Amino acid sequence: MTGVMRLSFLGTGYLGATYAACFAELGYDVLGYDVDEAKISRLAAGEAPFHEPGLDDLLRRNLAAGRLRFTTSMDEVAGFADVHFICVGTPQRPDGMSADLTYVESVVTALAPRLTRRALIVGKSTVPVGTAAWVEQLVAKHADPGLGIEVAWSPEFLQEGFAVDDVLRPSRIVVGTHSEWAREQLHAAHKGVFDLAATEDRDVPVVVTDFATAELVKVAANAFLATKISFINAMAEVCEVAGGDVTLLARAIGYDRRIGNRFLQAGLGFGGGCLPKDIRAFQARAQELGAGEALRFLHEVDLINMRRRGRALTLAAELLNRPVGPAGADLSGTTIAVLGVTFKPNSDDVRDAPSLAVASALAAAGADVRVYDPQGMPNARQEQPFLTYAPSLTACVTDVSLVVVATEWAEFRNADPVLLGDLVAARLVIDGRNCLDPAQWHRAGWTYRGMGRPPL
């Protein structure tokens, strides 16, 4: 191939928009595609439709350099790129378990018949094992058989909040393919990533494998991370009844390098657009394949995770001296500040956010709930319009009966408990992310409750 390789990214959500901007930054000629015209207009104006540190700068720089464009025209995409990356969402179906592949199907069936020269279609979306083989069949059915269009699967591992760095400096590249040509094309499409690594004296491990393994690597990684979080949250449950401190327990077991100290933060549990839905879809697919028993533990992982949200409610009732009856707690007449509505800091994503779920549950129990978040308010307002949205941290906590820290934003971690204490009558705080210094808050006169930590 001569000249700069041309890449398309189909779907411009977190995954596609970040990849498009980063691969343009690496020097490729990039076209991002989406059916959502509003999203494409914002991206074309250099503005990411979600909060991701560093992404707006990359978009603007590469749009200005002419290496990056966005379109809603599949004809343009088909005529443009040598390698097409599928980056569309695979949401949970209404059954609450399995993955919906409608968007994958629609981009593949729109693209394939429009292709007029040899190209590679690469799946990046998180999918049930078996999807790549199905996409290959769709391509065989819809594309001109003489063109030799091929399919490969290369899952992504980016974390919201670190997405730009995760794409430019991936921990590994996994390639599922059964063709040498596809492997070479994918290698060329990642040359920029390897070159950057070489200038920084780093290695990017590459695992070349079959379709099924590549698809499974992604869901296995997310299942492992979810299990690690639920493991420490299960330990938090035990600490709560035994009188232990899960944060010290996590630190102590984490010194063993076989265990490691990352993803051992006990709290309100995992949320977001990936881990919860991925572990459910993985179970559903394993069940279909006759291996349901192998993943039964993931059901428990899910249950432990959801129980943490309930724990926040019980703690609130306890601190506010409201008995918990069979119908739950009656929190009417109380005003509660919930700090954080996003599923984690440095993101404006409120999908399946434990913080927002806790805020809603407190409101459903009768409390007057006031929330504040540095980035997530517009998205939260759309999902939960009945909560009260405060313009600042201090406005949120003023005169409340209880403060719940639900997302560990730096603004909350670093807040001064003495100053905040002056704004409330009863100094009661639930640290839903174990991100505060209990001793410091206690000294400032607060009654402190963490998750899996002794009361102070």
Regarding 272 and contact with ligand UGA (CB under 6 A), the answer is: yes
- DSSP assignment of 37-56, as one string? HHHHHHHHTT--SS--TTHH
Active site residue 22: no
DSSP state of 228: H
Q: Tokens 């299942």 — which residue? A: 223
Q: Which amino acid is at 63?
A: L
Nearer to ligand UGA, 149 or 226 (CB): 226
- From the list 44-52, 274-282, 327-335, 368-376, the region that binds ligand UGA by CB under 6 A is 274-282
Side-chain-facing half-sphere of 245: CA atoms under 13 Å:
10
Site size for ligand UGA (CB under 6 A) = 22
Is 157 an interacting residue with respect to ligand UGA (CB under 6 A)? yes
Q: Which of 263, 398, 411, 413 binds ligand UGA (CB under 6 A)?
A: 263
Residue 283 in the binding site for ligand UGA (CB under 6 A): no
CB atoms within 10 A of CB 255: 9
Establish if 389 lies at the interface with ligand UGA (CB under 6 A).
no
Restricted to residues 114-133, the positions that interact with ligand UGA (CB under 6 A) are 126
Do 427 and 400 form a contact (C-beta atoms < 8 A)? no
Around 57, how many Cα atoms within 13 Å sit in the side-chain half-sphere? Answer: 4
Give CA separation, 220 vs 158, 213, 223, 295, in Å.
15, 10, 5, 10
Q: In whole angstroms, give the CA distance from residue 453 to residue 191.
A: 48
The reply on whether position 270 binds ligand UGA by CB under 6 A is yes
Query: Is residue 343 close enough to count as binding ligand UGA by CB under 6 A?
Result: yes
Nearer to ligand UGA, 260 or 445 (CB): 260
344 forms part of the interface with ligand UGA (CB under 6 A)? yes
Enter the tokens of residue 371. Answer: 């929330």
By CB atoms closer than 10 A (0-12, 13-18, 19+), residue 282 is buried
Point out which span in 134-142, 155-163, 325-333, 370-378 binds ligand UGA (CB under 6 A): 155-163
Within 10 A of 416 (CB to CB), how many other CB atoms are there? 10
Question: Per residue in 168-195, is it b (16+ CB within 10 Å) or e — as a string?
Answer: bebeebbbbbeeeebbebbeebbebbee
Q: What is the DSSP letter of 342?
A: S
Q: Binding of ligand UGA at residue 265 (CB under 6 A)?
A: yes
Cα angle value 306/349/126 (rounded, 5°): 75
- The yes or no reply on residue 176 touching ligand UGA (CB under 6 A) is no
When asked if residue 9 is in the footprint of ligand UGA (CB under 6 A), the reply is no
Q: How far is the CB of 174 from ligand UGA (least distance, A)?
A: 12
Q: Is 275 in the site for ligand UGA (CB under 6 A)?
A: yes
- The one catalytic residue in 22, 239, 274, 435 is 274
Binds ligand UGA by CB under 6 A, chosen from 149, 175, 274, 312: 274
Closer to ligand UGA at the Cβ: 427 or 433? 433
Pick the piece of the chain touching ligand UGA (CB under 6 A) from 107-115, 151-159, 204-212, 286-294.
Answer: 151-159
Give the contact letters, 212-251, x = binds to ligand UGA (CB under 6 A), - = no.
Answer: ----------x--x---x----------------------
Decide: is 267 part of the binding site for ligand UGA (CB under 6 A). Answer: yes
Give the sheet arrangement for strand 150-153, strand by strand: 68-71, 29-33, 6-10, 83-86, 120-123, 150-153, 173-176, 206-209
In angstroms, give the least distance from the CB of 114 to ligand UGA.
Answer: 28
**CB of 27 or CB of 53, closer to ligand UGA:** 53
- Shortest separation between residue 267's beta carbon and ligand UGA, angstroms: 5
Least Cβ distance, residue 422 to ligand UGA (angstroms): 30
Full strand arrangement of the beta sheet holding 335-339: 388-389, 368-372, 335-339, 402-405, 428-431, 447-450
Positions marked catalytic:
274
Binding site for ligand UGA (CB under 6 A): 126, 156-160, 222, 225, 229, 263-265, 267, 269-272, 274-275, 278, 343-344
